[in-house]
Amino acid sequence: MLYQSEREKLVKFVKNMYERKVTNSAGGNVSVKVDENHYIMTPRLMAEDFHCDLRPDQILVLDKDANVIEGDGKVTREVNMHLACYEENPEIGAVVHAHALESMTFSTLGIDMPNLTEATQKIGTIKCFKYHQAMTMDLANTVRAQVRADQQATKAYLLNRHGILVTGPTLEKAYDMAERLEWNAKIAKESFVYKKLS
């Protein structure tokens, strides 16, 4: 099996992501750049059909044109959004798209998330994009333009009414920031409540 250890690692991260409510059965997808020619990526419907409990052979190996080289499953319909990140910033090594419970509040409202915690300061503004339907080239192109403008490997964005998009130089760094973003979202929500009650 190509990239066996990398695919085994991705399976573990994805299952953890689901169990810790960083995504839900409505969707999400994760990819990793393994070298200059190949990516590994979770398959379509990883959450809805499998609740993120995947086998390593279900992790797809893709070339730069999103052709499946190996793996049991179909390519996620958000593949263009993932590829846009890698193409615009060569320092990005992993992309996490998820329906994170706390962050979805800001995403659903269509507003930027206040960046309050020390653990998230390095990502700067947590921008919420203008609404584009999921899986469309309009969404992928919006992501592309922002990643090109930012040129920051570790970054987090809100996809309006859709979830989060986090990039990092490695899978570990991208997932770490997704969890930090969730804590920041929870604290931001509670600070709003506190201010209302004060």
149 Cβ partners below 8 Å, 6+ apart? none
pLDDT at 120: 97
Give CA–CA dist 107/65, Å, rounded. 30
Q: Give pLDDT tens digits for 111-169.
A: 999 999 999 999 999 999 999 999 999 999 999 999 999 999 999 999 999 999 999 99
pLDDT at 27: 87
Going by pLDDT thresholds of 50, 70 and 90, the confidence category of residue 100 is very high
What single-letter DSSP state applies at residue 42?
P
What average pLDDT score do residues 8-37 get?
95
Q: Please state the domain count of the chain.
A: 1
Give CA–CA dist 193/184, Å, rounded. 14
Furthest-apart CA atoms within the chain: distance in Å: 58
pLDDT at 67: 97
- CA-to-CA separations, 189 to 94, 106, 163, 168, 170, in angstroms, rounded: 28, 9, 16, 25, 29
- CA-to-CA separations, 138 to 76, 80, 131, 143, 185, in angstroms, rounded: 16, 10, 9, 9, 26
Give CA–CA dist 131/120, Å, rounded. 24
Residue 86 has pLDDT above 80, yes or no: yes
Domain of 12, in residue numbers: 4-197
- With H, G, I as helix, E, B as strand and everything else as coil, classify residue 79: helix
What average pLDDT score do residues 41-57 get?
96
Given CA atoms 113, 115, 117, 120 in this order, what sign does their dihedral have? positive
Average pLDDT value for the chain = 95
Residue 193 has pLDDT above 80, yes or no: no
Place of tokens 């990883």: 46
Residue 197 has pLDDT above 70, yes or no: no
pLDDT at 52: 96
pLDDT at 73: 95
CATH of the domain at 28: 3.40.225.10
Contact 165, 159 (CB under 8 A): yes
- CA-to-CA separations, 192 to 142, 178, 195, in angstroms, rounded: 29, 21, 5
